[in-house]
């Protein structure tokens, strides 16, 4: 029986013996850092049985536990909160377990499969800062779920068809003069994005001319010659016109090559990629199925709808009067395709919060269709990312480009590292890898340390700092440990006689780390991991500055501190691996 279970058992015994309270659920919390203690038990729910003041009830239970549980060395009471203090012997045994057997993250689930869909770019422009948040969040969630026992399928649904794709194609046809990534030296996705912007420039000019001629602006948007040509191109694509299909395949190929470079540098990957061009007709059979069963209804014009007013929403169109699909139809069909492919228990969509309503509707529609996987749908909604310069815009060509941003943070990491002047003996390849590790790590950590639901400001300069809640700060703590271990004779664990405050703090934080991994999976929130490793790195720096490790007077103390440092390093590295961030061995 592990200690926490033993503590719960004895607490139940205390409630039974003292107040004749039979089986209740016993819970302990980490003690508030402002108070002495390790675990806290709240006694307020039991006052009606004890018929005593909160302080007296807590004191009686505390005294009982101190007598019955050898690990409880003391306790203190703050109103109705019983704070238990555990002995050094207990915490040393925890350190020994971690040091000798490594980190253990008990699985939350067994035999559960989850599909996580993230990235989902359009093939008419390069990835931008918002995509970076999406990708690092999706990839980290996959790593966290895997660490908790899930069988994870990393999934990408690429939006490779539609009017927006045809805009880039038409602009290249008109003004591209045969330009290619090879002939221009421009990365493929950037080249296609260039023509998306070019289209908009000419399109806006046509709209302005029509408006000046007396046409209503909304009508002008539809009547502009470029828009008519674009819609015609899309129709030709759907009809399978060879010339249009060949151009579409060629330009999409450029984009995929460009995306791969960005994904590789960002360190994300996928197990399965779906393409909207293959899936956009899916869902029509399910719409027909819902119509025949009376779940959906048809209006006089032939369009098909679902009535969600009883669920507090409204009526939602599922198929247009001309029989064509809407996005909801496609998502219904793609969800069914995923289930047929993987039989998943859960499927998570990592999509911005502007789509909150869409995913509420999707889940309700799937429930109405009695799909067995409907309850497993979860929309991991995240907020917009801004830079100090202001909000991102893609249509005007002022997008915060993902490649440029990665280049900027890697460049900042290089400048800062060179200023510190501690890498003179590293060769060029080692330095290049170091700058990449620091820069990309800084970018990822800064995005992941904030709860995904929150809109956030990304400051590239702040992200790369060696002080504060940043990746380089944590990476530097890790390299200190790596350096220490290189200088040590061995890292075998030896039992100390007692613990100082800083040693105990490290052990407590490592002991709590699996809880953070569980919480991150339960809440789909990598910031739980980021906060845990940051607190551990801070605690290690304090320990490192206040106590000698290799120079400790007693050999047993020295060996204990080396082993403790090694365990801290392994925990930091594990946490960063779940965030998709590499650790340097030197910096």
Any idea what the CATH number is for the domain that residue 54 is in? 3.30.1360.70
From the list 161, 188, 159, the residue with the least C-alpha distance to 262 is: 188
3-state secondary structure of 426: coil
Instruction: Tally the domains of the chain.
Output: 3
Q: Is residue 147 part of a domain?
A: no
Asked, for residue 42, whether it belongs to a domain, the answer is yes
Does 182 share its domain with 34?
A: no
Domain membership flag for residue 472:
yes
CA distance 533 to 516: 10
Any domain includes 154 = no
Q: Please check whether residue 475 is in contact with residue 539, taking contact to mean a CB–CB distance below 8 angstroms.
A: no
Residues 45 and 176 in one domain: no
State the Cα–Cα distance between residues 511 and 98, nearest whole angstrom: 8
CA nearest to 584, candidates 573, 568, 575, 574: 573
Asked if 587 and 417 touch (Cβ cutoff 8 Å), the reply is: yes
For residue 157, give both structure tokens. 């649904």
Q: Are residues 79 and 193 in the same domain?
A: no
238 falls within a domain:
yes
Domain boundary among 46, 63, 86: 86
Range of the domain at 221: 162-265
459 within a domain of the structure (yes/no): yes
81 and 177 in a single domain? The answer is: no
235, 265, 295 - which closes a domain:
265
Structure tokens of 340? Answer: 């047929």
Q: What is the residue-level pLDDT of the chain in tens, covering all 587 positions?
A: 488 899 999 999 999 999 999 999 999 999 998 999 999 999 999 999 999 999 999 999 999 999 999 999 999 999 999 999 999 999 999 999 999 999 999 999 999 999 999 999 999 999 999 999 999 999 999 999 999 999 999 999 999 999 999 999 999 999 999 999 999 999 999 999 999 999 999 999 999 999 999 999 999 999 999 999 999 999 999 999 999 999 999 999 999 999 999 999 999 999 999 999 999 889 999 999 999 999 999 999 999 999 999 999 999 999 999 888 889 999 999 999 999 999 999 999 999 999 999 999 999 999 999 999 999 999 999 998 887 765 444 444 456 899 999 999 999 999 999 888 878 889 999 999 999 999 999 999 999 999 999 999 888 889 999 999 999 999 999 999 999 999 998 878 888 989 999 999 999 999 999 999 999 999 999 999 999 999 999 999 999 999 999 999 999 999 999 999 999 999 999 999 999 999 999 98
Task: Say if residue 69 is in the same domain as residue 182.
Answer: no
Q: Are residues 68 and 201 in the same domain?
A: no
The answer to whether residues 507 and 414 belong to one domain is: yes
> To which residue do tokens 């090559």 refer?
257
Whole-prediction pTM value? Answer: 0.93
**Is the Cβ–Cβ distance between 507 and 95 less than 8 Å?**
yes
Tell whether 169 and 36 lie within a shared domain.
no
Alpha-carbon gap, residue 105 to 126, rounded angstroms = 38
Backbone angles phi, psi at 68, to 5 degrees: -95, -25
Rg (CA), the chain: 29
Contact 130, 352 (CB under 8 A): yes
Q: Answer with the one of 214, 244, 265 that is the final residue of a domain.
A: 265
Helix and strand numbers, DSSP H then E, in the chain: 22, 14
Q: Answer whether 61's CB lies under 8 Å from 14's CB.
A: yes
CA distance 240 to 386: 41
**Residue 358: strand, helix, or coil:** helix
Asked if the structure places residue 279 within a domain, the reply is no
In a domain, 339, yes or no: no
3-state secondary structure 218-235: HHHHHHCHHHHHHHHHHH
- The candidate with the shortest Cα–Cα distance to 118, out of 148, 146, 141, 149, is 141
In angstroms, the CA 534 to CA 508 distance is 14
546 half-sphere exposure, CB direction, 13 A CA radius = 10
> Are 461 and 545 members of one domain?
yes
Mode of pairing for the β-strands spanning 39-42 and 29-30: antiparallel
Do residues 82 and 172 both lie within one domain? no
Rounded Cα gap, residues 26 and 311, in angstroms: 37
The pLDDT score that the predictor gives to residue 399 is 62
- 426 and 566 together in one domain: yes
């Amino acid at each position: 029986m592990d200690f926490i279970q033993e503590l719960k058992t004895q607490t139940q015994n205390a409630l039974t013996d003292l107040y004749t309270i039979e089986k209740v659920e016993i819970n302990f919390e980490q003690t508030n850092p402002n108070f002495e203690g390790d675990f806290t038990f709240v006694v307020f729910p039991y006052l009606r049985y004890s018929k005593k003041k909160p302080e007296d009830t807590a004191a009686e239970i505390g005294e009982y536990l101190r007598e019955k549980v050898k690990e409880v060395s003391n306790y203190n009471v703050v109103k109705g909160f019983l704070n238990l203090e555990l002995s050094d012997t207990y915490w040393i045994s925890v350190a020994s377990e971690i040091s000798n057997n490594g980190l253990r993250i008990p699985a939350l689930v067994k035999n559960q499969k989850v599909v996580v869909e993230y990235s989902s770019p359009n093939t008419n422009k390069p990835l931008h800062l918002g995509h970076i948040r999406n990708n690092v969040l999706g990839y980290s969630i996959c790593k966290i779920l895997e660490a908790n026992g899930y069988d994870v399928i990393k999934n990408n649904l690429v939006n490779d068809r539609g009017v927006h794709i045809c805009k880039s194609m038409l602009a290249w046809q008109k003004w591209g003069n045969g330009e290619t990534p090879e002939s221009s030296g421009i990365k493929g996705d950037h080249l296609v994005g260039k023509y998306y912007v070019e289209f908009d420039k000419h399109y806006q000019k046509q709209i302005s001319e029509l408006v000046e001629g007396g046409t209503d602006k909304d009508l002008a948007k539809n009547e502009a010659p470029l828009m008519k040509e674009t819609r015609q191109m899309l129709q030709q694509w759907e009809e399978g016109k060879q010339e249009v299909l060949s151009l579409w395949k060629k330009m999409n190929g450029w984009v995929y090559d460009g995306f791969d470079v960005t994904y590789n540098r960002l360190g994300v990957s996928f197990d399965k990629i779906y393409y909207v061009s293959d899936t956009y007709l899916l869902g029509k059979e399910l719409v027909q199925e819902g119509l025949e069963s009376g779940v959906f209804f048809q209006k006089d014009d032939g369009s098909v709808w679902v009535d969600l007013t009883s669920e507090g929403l409204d009526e939602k169109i599922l198929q247009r009067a001309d029989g064509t699909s809407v996005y909801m139809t496609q998502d219904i069909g793609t969800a069914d395709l995923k289930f047929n492919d993987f039989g998943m228990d859960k499927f998570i969509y990592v999509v911005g919060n502007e789509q909150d309503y869409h995913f509420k509707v999707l889940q309700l529609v799937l429930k109405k269709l009695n799909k067995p996987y409907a309850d497993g749908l979860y929309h991991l909604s995240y907020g917009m990312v801004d830079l100090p310069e202001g909000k991102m815009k893609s249509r005007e060509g002022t997008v915060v480009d993902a490649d440029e941003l990665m280049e900027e943070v890697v460049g900042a990491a290089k400048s800062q590292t060179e200023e510190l002047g501690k890498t003179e003996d590293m060769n060029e390849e080692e330095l290049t890898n170091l700058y990449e590790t620091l820069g990309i790590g800084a970018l990822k950590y800064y995005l992941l340390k904030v709860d995904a639901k929150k809109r956030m400001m990304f400051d590239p300069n702040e992200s790369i700092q060696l002080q504060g809640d940043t990746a380089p700060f944590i990476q530097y703590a890790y390299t200190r440990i790596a350096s220490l271990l290189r200088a040590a004779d061995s890292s075998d664990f030896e039992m100390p006689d007692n613990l100082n405050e800083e040693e105990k703090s490290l052990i407590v934080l490592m002991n709590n780390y699996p809880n953070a991994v569980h919480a991150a999976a339960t809440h789909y929130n990598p910031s739980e991991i980021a906060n845990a490793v940051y607190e551990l790195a801070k605690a290690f720096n304090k320990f490192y500055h206040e106590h000698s490790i290799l120079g400790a007077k007693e050999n047993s103390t020295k060996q204990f501190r080396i082993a403790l440092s090694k365990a801290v390093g392994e925990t930091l590295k594990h946490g960063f691996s779940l965030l998709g961030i590499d650790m340097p061995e030197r910096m």
